[in-house]
Amino acid sequence: MFMCTGKRVMSLPMLLLLLLFICFFSTSRAIWITLPPTGTKCVSEEIHNNVVVLAEYVVVATGGDQSHNSTISVKVTSPYGNSLHHLENTSSGNFAFTSRESGNYLACFWVTHNDRDGDISVNLDWKTGIAAKDWDTVARKEKIEGVELELRKLEGSVESIHENLIYLRGREAEMRNVNESTNSRVAWFSIMSLGICITVSVLQLWHLKRYFHKKKLI
Amino acid sequence: MRGANVWTVFMCLMLSFFARIQSLSVTVNDVECVYEYVLYEGDTVSGNFVVVDHDIFWSSDHPGIDFTVTTPAGNTVQNIKGTSGDKFSFKAPTHGMYKFCFHNPYSTPETVSFYIHVGHIPSEHDLAKDEHLDPVNVKIAELREALESVTAEQKYLKARDARHRHTNESTRKRVIFYTVGEYLLLAAVSALQVIYIRRLFSKSVAYNRV
């Protein structure tokens, strides 16, 4: 959560107002997914190398029922199958990692204990790359605040756009190579197919001619 | 001065919660819904989704999925049918929990990569009576929204690139396997032809002159 520290001491009502805003805003920052009573639900994202991933999940108490004891289990796996985070029987949790491999990262949720009938909603806050950057420490370390911090965030956003563009260009170049090799392979394999067809028919004719000679039919 | 300081703090808080971005993939078997909370009425909700193919044999095998957005009141605000990927953008009529649903009309599971962004520009309506809107903060919010739209386009491009890559790799595998299979089949069929003709001539008594 982002906190902007003013240089002067704030009065109590203002502080309360701030806290109210914080509370109001902190409940609404992520997507909700519904878990069925049986079976797993997985979300995934294709992440390339060296990207920070930050995620937080909380079982949502719907309605006025505060005595929910529903728990879920989580498992996060890397593209090569390594388990990055595995928790059983919990109602909330978080995890963070830096991607070492490029590929599809999978986060799976399933219900271990359901206190009420029906589906369970999980509030999942999944951030990668620039969205996962800890601006609090940056603000504190460099002692910047307010408009300057916002502009710094925008600068970070622009840099990440630039990086993504370079990444996309690299992927496009890879794909172009694959396409061109497939194109030349199609040409070669078709010509070879013609060659094999001719060879096989020549062999057939030669073999049959030899056979009929042997059988004294020709 | 104190008022300005508090205002700065308040605007900081406001601006810090504008970057609500979710970019994920889910596997849709029948219906998959995600929910996202929209804080203010009038917020622009934008996003895109791309169906990242599983191995479809014929392209007519799977025409696409349906996408619906429902307001907290239950009205459908977006309805896109039978598509393999699209962008969407709408102005939220009310604040509250919006439901984004993907419906797969066929039994083969599809993986959908989606991205949803809720953007807010501070305006006069959000403020208390004795506070003034700082135009710098409005401009910063607009700039942030413009950058978010670029990011959204990039995520769309990235998802489409993933889909194209799947198609290309599938094409490549098909070229190799189907042509090698074709050669083997051709050789096998011609060998069978020869064997059959030999059998015809060796079994039939009428042609056998010893």
- Among residues A53, A55, A54, A60, which one has the least CA distance to residue A33? A60
Nearest to B37 among A18, A28, A189 (CB): A28
Q: Which two tokens stand for residue A20?
A: 């109210």
Are the CB atoms for A46 and A99 separated by under 8 Å? no
Domain boundaries, chain B: 18-167
**Topology annotation, domain B18-167:** Jelly Rolls (2.60.120)
Are the CB atoms for A26 and A1 separated by under 8 Å? yes
Partner-chain contact A164 B154, CB within 8 Å: yes
Cα dihedral B126, B131, B135, B137 in deg (nearest 10): -60
Given a cut of 50, is residue A10 above it in pLDDT?
no
* Chain B residues closer than 8 Å to A154 by CB: 140, 143-144, 147
Mean pLDDT across B114-126: 84
Mean pLDDT across B176-202: 91
B194 touches chain A (CB under 8 A): yes
Given a cut of 60, is residue A13 above it in pLDDT?
no
The confidence score (pLDDT) of residue A3 equals 38
Partner-chain contact B154 A161, CB within 8 Å: yes
Name the residue type at position A199.
T
Task: Please tell me which residue, B7 or B208, carries the higher pLDDT value.
Answer: B208
Partner-chain contact B21 A131, CB within 8 Å: yes
Partner-chain contact A147 B35, CB within 8 Å: no
Q: What whole-number distance in Å separates Cα of residue A162 and Cα of residue B162?
A: 19
Q: What whole-number distance in Å separates Cα of residue B80 and Cα of residue A105?
A: 28
Mean of the per-residue pLDDT values of chain B: 82
Mean of the per-residue pLDDT values of chain A: 82
- With tokens 């030349």, the residue in question is A184
- Among residues B116, B117, B106, B77, which one has the least CA distance to residue B94? B77
B183 touches chain A (CB under 8 A): yes
Partner-chain contact B26 A212, CB within 8 Å: no
Q: What is the pTM of this model?
A: 0.77
- Among residues B61, B100, B60, B67, which one has the least CA distance to residue B83? B67
Q: What is the distance in angstroms between the CA of the first residue and the CA of the last residue of chain B?
A: 123
Instruction: With cut-offs at 50, 70 and 90, classify the pLDDT of residue B23.
Output: confident
Given a cut of 80, is residue B55 above it in pLDDT?
no
**DSSP letter (8 states) at residue A65:** -
Strands (E), chain A: 31-35, 40-47, 52-59, 71-77, 83-90, 92-98, 103-113, 120-128
Prediction ipTM score: 0.75
The confidence score (pLDDT) of residue B83 equals 87
**Cβ contacts from A onto B, under 8 A:** 176
Given a cut of 50, is residue A98 above it in pLDDT?
yes
Q: What whole-number distance in Å separates Cα of residue A135 and Cα of residue B113?
A: 28
Question: Which range is least confidently modeled, A9-23, A108-122, B14-28, B180-194?
Answer: A9-23
∠ CA A126-A127-A131, nearest 5°, is 155
Given a cut of 90, is residue A179 above it in pLDDT?
yes
The residue of chain B nearest to residue A164, with distances taken between CA atoms, is B154
Partner-chain contact A10 B6, CB within 8 Å: yes
B204 touches chain A (CB under 8 A): no
Partner-chain contact A157 B144, CB within 8 Å: yes
Q: What is the pLDDT of residues A123-164, one digit of tens each?
A: 988 888 888 888 888 888 888 888 899 999 999 999 999 999
Q: Which phi and psi (to 5°) does residue A63 adopt?
A: 70, -160
Question: Which range is least confidently modeled, A70-79, A111-120, A202-211, B81-90?
Answer: A111-120
The confidence score (pLDDT) of residue B100 equals 93
Given a cut of 70, is residue A67 above it in pLDDT?
no
The residue of chain A nearest to residue B207, with distances taken between CA atoms, is A217
Partner-chain contact B13 A18, CB within 8 Å: yes
Are the CB atoms for A67 and A157 separated by under 8 Å? no
